[in-house]
Homo-oligomer: A and B are copies of this chain.
Amino acid sequence: MTTPWERRYAQRTKGMGSSAIRELLKLTENPEVISFAGGLPAAELFPIDLFRAATDRVLTKYGRQALQYGTTEGYRPLREFIVDRMERYGIHATPDNVLITSGSQQALDLLGKLLINSGDLILTERPTYLGAIQAWRGYKAEFITVPVDDEGLRIDLLEEALCAGPKFMYILPNFQNPGGVTLSLERRRELIAIADRYGIPIVEDDPYGQLRFEGEHLPPLVVLDGEVMVNRNGQNNKGQGFGHGNVIYTSTFSKTLAPGLRLAWMVAPTDVVKHCVMAKQGMDLHTSTFIQMIAYEAIQDGELDKHVRLIREVYRQRRDVMLAALEKYFPPSVHWTRPQGGLFLWATLPEKMDAAELLQRAVAHHVAFVPGSAFYPNAKPDNWIGRNTMRLNFSNATPEKIELGIQRLGETLHQVMAQESVPA
């Protein structure tokens, strides 16, 4: 049964999602299934009373403004709050460098709209964030990828990839989704130097940077880029914001506050912001004024810091429980990352084991994860790219469920390996 619309599609949604896996993951709605599949924060930690009080204040003090159309750039006090917060991480921006977006996903979509022509090549980590792949496929981008290891992007393989001429690089430096790995300081410096030498700019996506459980916070790429600029220009760029920067930085309230708000931001040179504002105007006019004002009211008086400390502590415990359970229940031939923060870790099965097939068995055994091939831009049904990998989320389930779920998954793995005569 066709509709008059069917033959008119611009094919921009082509290959945007593997429907087989999506169907399988729908089965995780069964409450019996312990799911490590989603990227969901722990809902029991949401600061509900904080939001109730904030909403009340917003409606009492600024009801008419909150419910009216707003500016595309975003609510100015919220942009000022973000500037202050960014300063803490060494990022010297002004409110004119900040654009509020409807989730980080919209920032990625905006950058796609602004920068990508059909057939343009984007360089990403391998694996990389699925949402970026989806957003930029919509603009018919192609992808060239560089693998990550425990210290993040393999810088030694970067220059060869850059020779293909990507339009920009997309990097998640902290507790990367899906790998859980962090780009080391040394590699950050090398990356910036190479980006500068080749003239290839960087989109730095940092949703998890504030969720570090241990170790030292590492400077964002955008800060290191600023230092290079100081050397390059022989003058201090401090206070000039993002006038000539090679890096666009994005972050979000989804992981530190609540994803149901759909509230994130981009920090970029003013000319990029100006173009993004024009594009966003055509996309959704602006992000909900009401939501922006509620979030702003909620995070006053140190409430955001307080909440982030709580999340860090809970997620750290959950990561520890998951790592211990993996040691206990997983076959020794499976390897995994040990993230210092964030929401995810990444497991690699023996070669030629197919995580998508494993998922089918696992769901029958009431446990779920995301097969890793979804995070490889160039994975296809007829190649083997990323097939033996999986992403495990540790932020959403309770410690008890994490222990039980990993036990079930370990049992499934042992079973499959025995049947297929894979050495455990």
Contacts and interface: CB of A to CB of B under 8 A. Distances in A.
Interface stretch (A149-157, A204-212, A283-291, A412-420): A283-291
A136 to B, nearest CB: 8
Given A69-B38, A103-B284, A64 B52 contact: no
Contact of A10 (B17, B65, B115, B258): B115
Interface in A260-281: 260-262, 268-269, 271-272, 275, 278-279, 281
A290 to B, nearest CB: 5
A236 interface: no
A197 interface: no
A201 B6 CA distance: 11
Contacts of A135: 282-283
Most buried by B among A1, A48, A60, A201: A48
Given A6-B271, A68-B260, A131-B282, 19 more contacts: A4-B201, A4-B245, A8-B115, A9-B275, A13-B275, A40-B68, A40-B69, A44-B64, A48-B63, A48-B67, A51-B290, A52-B59, A52-B60, A67-B259, A102-B102, A106-B284, A118-B118, A261-B290, A262-B285
A46 interface: yes
Contacts of A379: none
Contact of A67 (B4, B10, B115, B260): B260
A371 interface: no
Interface of A: 1-6, 8-10, 12-13, 16-17, 38-41, 43-44, 46, 48, 51-52, 55-56, 59-60, 63-70, 102-103, 105-106, 109, 113-118, 120, 131, 134-135, 137-139, 167-168, 199, 201, 242-246, 248, 258-262, 268-269, 271-272, 275, 278-279, 281-291
Nearest to A277: B13
A165 to B, nearest CB: 12
A113 B11 CA distance: 9
B48 A59 contact: yes
A105 to B, nearest CB: 5
A131 B285 contact: yes
Contacts of A9: 114-115, 275
A167 B135 CA distance: 24
Contacts of A117: 10
Query: Most chain-B Cβ atoms within 10 A of its Cβ — which of A10, A41, A56, A259?
Result: A10
Most B Cβ at <10 Å: residue of A12, A106, A289:
A12
Given A68-B258, A288-B288, A10 B116 contact: yes
A287 B167 CA distance: 30
Given A56-B52, A69-B260, A70-B260, A106 B283 contact: yes
Contacts of A279: 12-13, 16, 138
A113 B3 contact: no
B3 A260 contact: no
Contact of A259 (B56, B68, B259, B281): B68
A172 B46 CA distance: 42
A102 B284 contact: yes
B1 A243 contact: yes
Contacts of A3: 242-245, 269, 271-272
Contacts of A55: 52, 55-56, 59
A303 to B, nearest CB: 15
A259 to B, nearest CB: 5
A259 B69 contact: yes
Nearest to A41: B68
Contacts of A271: 2-3, 5-6
Contacts of A38: 69
A350 to B, nearest CB: 32
B40 A64 contact: no
Among A16, A68, A244, the one with the most B-chain Cβ atoms within 10 Å of its Cβ is: A68
